[in-house]
Structure 1
Amino acid sequence: MKIADRAECELVVVGGGPAGLAAATLAAELNIDTVILDEQEAPGGQIYRAVERRSSHGDRVAPLLGPDFRLGLDLVKAFRHSGATYAPASAVWQVTPDGVVGITQQGEASLLRSRHVILATGAMERPVPVSGWTLPGVMGAGAAQTLLKSSGIVPSEATVIAGCGPLPLLVAAQLLEAGAPLKAVLITTPRMLPVQALYQLPWALTQFNEIRKGLSWMRRLRAAGVAIYHGVSDVVAEGAAKLDLVSFTASGKSMSIPASVLLLHDGVVPNVQLSRSAGCRHVWDEAQLTWRPIVDEWGATSQERISIAGDGQRILGAKAAEPLGRLAALDAACRLGRISVKERDARAEEHRKLLKRLMRIRPFLDRAFPPSLVKPLPKGNTIVCRCEEISASFLRETIRDGLTDPNQIKSLTRCGMGPCQGRMCGTTVGRIIAEELGKSVEQVGLYRPRIPVKPVTLGAWAALRNAVKDPAAQHTGEPSRREL
């Protein structure tokens, strides 16, 4: 659909992953005029990327992705039949508190006005600024999985995966099955679970199938002769023009592995750029070293017309994202006057029960796999801001010279002004300032969000569709030098 042809709707859902698809499907079934804006070319989000195409007979990649990936097909089919309007390849660069959404699709920028917005922007892979992370050959493990899903591409040279949590093991098993030359998996958490995680184990065992998957991935890697190291720290990517060597510490010993590809993963974090630019209140999560929005049980934010569903709230996983999306849709339907509070609460009961069951494993995962690669902050010549090539030492010197606010640093050093708009460096910069000043990250804050959140060409902005023009505000005659 060409989204610029639409000027208004009742509900906008931003994001075509599990939370967005579930929310849009239910909203459309409740006869709400729903538009879903998806930056991808087809529904599924990151977790179910290309699931329709990969489900075709004889697809060679589908068997590598496992049964969990195929679960997304039913979700996509239900959405396709729901009657919701789908706008693929639509980058959202603005969401205002009153429900106006700025979109770019095929180079054309437009505004879409809605009565309510559900942000289902999901999670992003946490940036891991270890020494050498900007070398060619170093990338995120999640990004490598995206290449596998979308294009069937896997590394062809010696590969090492480093990080924590279930995803590195899953990606390692998938790449191994696809024939990638996997040399080692460096697990940053110790072999023995911490006491805090053991306390949560009885509840986690109610989701034993999820734990069993991790154990099976480990067995497959060991059987294939892949070296697995636990309790790894001090991971460094070394090389001149490209990655040549991965150095690390394990069991108190310094070690290194020749490699051309290093895949890093230290968990995922809520994608909060749009929610922050819309003025929704956020809080610093010290345990997960990330910012997350403040929401109620329905995903409602501090902005009346904006809700958040799925991992954009906090990281709970793809399966939990579906009931979260449906809860947000039910609340939106109530706010729009389509259902009563009583009906909303009654319909929500089954989704709450499912969510409660799926969340039982989350406290265990959070305590068993806390962020570890990013816990020690970068120092020396390690790059903090990739876009503007700002090093940790330069940033620390700037702070010691008196610039103690993230926005001051952004203005005077361009740190955070690149194409990513601070997605890759913002949290690290705030943590470094906090460390240098002896303050909390919440006291320091984060870059002030600016629109456009995603790049928009001047030509597209000049030809902006559906913009409201106030004749009384238009200037007549030639502008003076003072006005310029």
Structure 2
Amino acid sequence: MIRNIQSATDLAPAYDLVVVGAGPAGLSAAIEASIHGLAVLLADENESPGGQIYRSVEHASVADLARMGPDYAAGRTLIERFRQQNLSYASRATVWSVGAADEEASDGVHPLEVGISLGGIARPIAAHRVIIATGALERPFPFPGWTMPGVMTAGAAQVLMKSSGLVPSGRTILAGTGPLLYLVASQLLRAGVSVVAVVDTTPVENWRLALPHMFAFATSPYAVKGLKLLLDVRRRAHVIRGVTAIEAVGSGQFNALKLRRGDKSLQIEGDLLLLHQGIAPNLNLALAAGCDYGWDEHLATFRPNVDLCGASSVQSVSIAGDAAGIVGAVAAALQGELAGLSAALNLNRIGQGCYQQRRNRLARKLARALRGRTFIERRFRPDKTFRVPEDGGTIVCRCEEITAGKLREVAALGVPGPNQMKAFTRCGMGPCQGRLCGLTAVELLAQCRGQSPGEAGYYRLRPPIKPVTLGELAALPHTEAAIVAVAGFAERAKDGALDINHGSHQ
């Protein structure tokens, strides 16, 4: 049965496999690896398993399940399977680093070291393999007024619905593009929320890009679900399509959305504005671990380079689910199973023949689950005018309040990449560490330099990728090499002049 880990002091010093993230991919990876007898630790920041898609589904009422829909309710079955496994589960845990183990401390069997904080205590944990299943983040949506009170993301509203049963009480406007925009609108409408308008910013020309992939979409499970969803929202709310510009206005608080559609302007009054223009892989942990990545022009985002089973460019590190590319819950679970299966093979817990048979079955299921995704990617690709703000006064970096105009000024100085732009402006240095501004900043810089975002590259990320207190860091066990590196007394240490136990000179 599941062993619930409440404090970092209860963690074992080493595990066969550490899985980061308890969404569909992470849960499935942990289940698969546990079935084959691996010592597994699943670490997740949330209070209960499920990730964003299945958040709080274990505790959802009948009314909650009806409001959120059958895809949400399906998460209960996966979590029930997870609860029956023989593995360790650390909820409310922060994984802030994944990297090669210190040669001095390594036992030669566990090549990786994972930095985990839990219960106010930080610990380095040795691992033979790591599967990163950190999911996705909502794409930045910068435009004039997007940071004012009364404006939030559609995903945040969904979190409140799932975790606390909270729904907006006033006039609500949704704006942006992507399936989640309509899903949240439908869920709010079923909850009795006053949705006064759904403002769709999807570029009209996207149909031309998506049309060649229409047949695959029409024969996929997405087609019927998507059609029902669109019809439900259009029947119960005012949907405005073909919007080419928006601006949130209000005196200290959002009270209206200005929009432009062709040569016509319109203003819609409301109390809350919910924004969404797709999701992008949560890259920070994978990039800090040193995994190679590239720019996906069709998704308009960066994504790690992985193979069918999630193996990355870093030995023993795999990436599964939306953290490796947006695939949806069903495909993410299958990718998690493939990654867990590969971990079992690597540790000789399954024979090559059995592995190949199961791998082939999962690959076929994955191909079916991904059918139709290309159409969705092309159809709902957000327009560049909404990804890169034209207005110089629009804030790009919310943490440091850096505007698009300021970034363009720095780009004009000839900075060679986003890391140098970060040094000049602090854009990406705040608590979110670029999660809310990274894509926008890189695309803006690439635009100014006349190159692709892939040529510009992304931020250079280093651990810790999440805030860690000085108390936690001070309590970490330190090797002699680590102390020497920090203290800067390498030569004297070799001569025995440095007392590493007390950090003082003899």
Task: Tell me whether the two structures share a fold, i.e. TM-score over 0.5.
Answer: yes
SS at match of 1:28: helix
SS at match of 1:428: helix
Q: Kindly state the Cα deviation for residue 478 of structure 1 after the two structures are TM-superposed.
A: 7.4
Q: Kindly state the Cα deviation for residue 472 of structure 1 after the two structures are TM-superposed.
A: 9.2
What is the aligned partner in structure 2 of residue 408 from structure 1?
Answer: 420
Contiguous gaps of at least 5 residues in structure 2: 101-110, 485-492
Contact 1:119 1:306 in 2 (8 A): yes
Q: Deviations over 1:387-406 (max 9, x none)?
A: 00001111111222343432
What is the aligned partner in structure 2 of residue 439 from structure 1?
Answer: 451
Within 5 Å, give how 1:415-430 maps onto structure 2. Answer: 415-430=427-442
Contact 2:44 2:93 in 1 (8 A): yes
1:4 pairs with 2:9 = yes
What is the aligned partner in structure 2 of residue 182 from structure 1?
Answer: 195
What is the aligned partner in structure 2 of residue 264 from structure 1?
Answer: 275
Give the letter aligned to residue 428 of structure 1: T
What is the aligned partner in structure 2 of residue 354 from structure 1?
Answer: 365
Within 5 Å, give how 1:221-240 maps onto structure 2. Answer: 221-224=233-236, 226-240=237-251
2:168 to 149, 152, 155: 155
Q: Kindly state the Cα deviation for residue 352 of structure 1 after the two structures are TM-superposed.
A: 1.2
1:106 to 98, 114, 119: 119
Contact 2:97 2:114 in 1 (8 A): yes
Q: Kindly state the Cα deviation for residue 467 of structure 1 after the two structures are TM-superposed.
A: 4.7
SS at match of 1:343: helix
The range that moved more, 15-24 or 409-418, is 409-418
What is the rounded CA distance, in whole Å, between the counterparts of 1:449 and 1:173 in structure 2?
Answer: 37
What is the aligned partner in structure 1 of residue 397 from structure 2?
Answer: 385
Contact 2:258 2:266 in 1 (8 A): yes
What is the rounded CA distance, in whole Å, between the counterparts of 1:472 and 1:152 in structure 2?
Answer: 49
Contact 2:206 2:380 in 1 (8 A): no
Q: Deviations over 1:289-334 (max 9, x none)?
A: 2110001111100011100111111111001011100111111111
Give the letter aligned to residue 395 of structure 2: I
1:170 to 174, 183, 188: 183
What is the aligned partner in structure 1 of residue 107 from structure 2?
Answer: none
1:195 to 204, 208, 225: 208
Contact 1:299 1:307 in 2 (8 A): yes
What is the aligned partner in structure 1 of residue 319 from structure 2?
Answer: 308
CA separation of 1:193 and 1:389: change in aligned 2, threshold 3 A: closer
Q: Kindly state the Cα deviation for residue 470 of structure 1 after the two structures are TM-superposed.
A: 5.1
Contact 2:388 2:444 in 1 (8 A): no
Contact 1:232 1:250 in 2 (8 A): yes
What is the aligned partner in structure 1 of residue 84 from structure 2?
Answer: 81
SS at match of 1:96: strand
CA separation of 1:374 and 1:113: change in aligned 2, threshold 3 A: farther
The range that moved more, 469-478 or 166-175, is 469-478
Q: Deviations over 1:333-360 (max 9, x none)?
A: 1112222333211111221111111111
1:25 pairs with 2:25 = no
What is the aligned partner in structure 1 of residue 230 from structure 2?
Answer: 218
Contact 1:323 1:351 in 2 (8 A): yes
Q: Kindly state the Cα deviation for residue 468 of structure 1 after the two structures are TM-superposed.
A: 4.2
Q: Kindly state the Cα deviation for residue 241 of structure 1 after the two structures are TM-superposed.
A: 0.9
CA separation of 1:378 and 1:40: change in aligned 2, threshold 3 A: farther
Give the letter aligned to residue 408 of structure 1: Q
Contiguous gaps of at least 5 residues in structure 1: none
SS at match of 2:149: coil
Identity %: 43
What is the aligned partner in structure 1 of residue 356 from structure 2?
Answer: 345
1:69 pairs with 2:82 = no
- TM-score norm. by structure 1 comes to 0.94
Q: Deviations over 1:346-395 (max 9, x none)?
A: 11122111111111110111111112263443431100110000011111
What is the aligned partner in structure 2 of residue 37 from structure 1?
Answer: 43
1:127 to 140, 143, 153: 140
1:53 pairs with 2:59 = yes
Q: Kindly state the Cα deviation for residue 158 of structure 1 after the two structures are TM-superposed.
A: 1.2
What is the rounded CA distance, in whole Å, between the counterparts of 2:483 and 2:388 in structure 1?
Answer: 55
Q: Deviations over 1:65-94 (max 9, x none)?
A: 111111101100101101121110011111
SS at match of 2:63: coil
What is the rounded CA distance, in whole Å, between the counterparts of 2:342 and 2:128 in structure 1?
Answer: 13
Contact 1:133 1:237 in 2 (8 A): yes
CA separation of 1:292 and 1:65: change in aligned 2, threshold 3 A: same
1:92 pairs with 2:98 = no
Q: Kindly state the Cα deviation for residue 448 of structure 1 after the two structures are TM-superposed.
A: 1.1
What is the rounded CA distance, in whole Å, between the counterparts of 2:232 and 2:239 in structure 1?
Answer: 11
